[in-house]
Amino acid sequence: MCVALLVAGCDKTPATETVESLVANPERLRELRAQCKADHAKVGDAQCNAVAEATRQRFMGGGTAHIPAAPPPGSPPASAASSDTSKD
């Protein structure tokens, strides 16, 4: 019976932390990134994939890059408009 409990205890894998929880907890994300880098096989694919996705989301934000809006057609570029000041 003791052997059965020992085997059953070894079979459990630690719960994978969600991407959302890692995005909300940057210190834990940093720890897991280091663990994945040091021993990916020990941490596991599922957890390291969640770490990679959380890192991507923290870096990219909402997933869209900030691109300034283009000026309306026919208007001068911003650099030309600022240099059009009258000189005395």
Examine residue 83 and state whether it is found in any structural domain, yes or no: no
Examine residue 31 and state whether it is found in any structural domain, yes or no: yes
Examine residue 78 and state whether it is found in any structural domain, yes or no: no
pLDDT tens for the 88 residues of the chain, in order: 444 444 445 544 567 899 999 999 999 999 999 999 999 999 999 999 999 999 999 888 765 556 667 777 776 766 655 555 555 5
Total structural domains within the chain: 1
Residue 27: CB atoms within 10 Å: 7
- The Cα–Cα gap between 14 and 47 comes to 10
Examine residue 81 and state whether it is found in any structural domain, yes or no: no
Examine residue 28 and state whether it is found in any structural domain, yes or no: yes
Examine residue 50 and state whether it is found in any structural domain, yes or no: yes
Which tokens is 36 given? 């994945």
Domain containing 19 equals 14-61
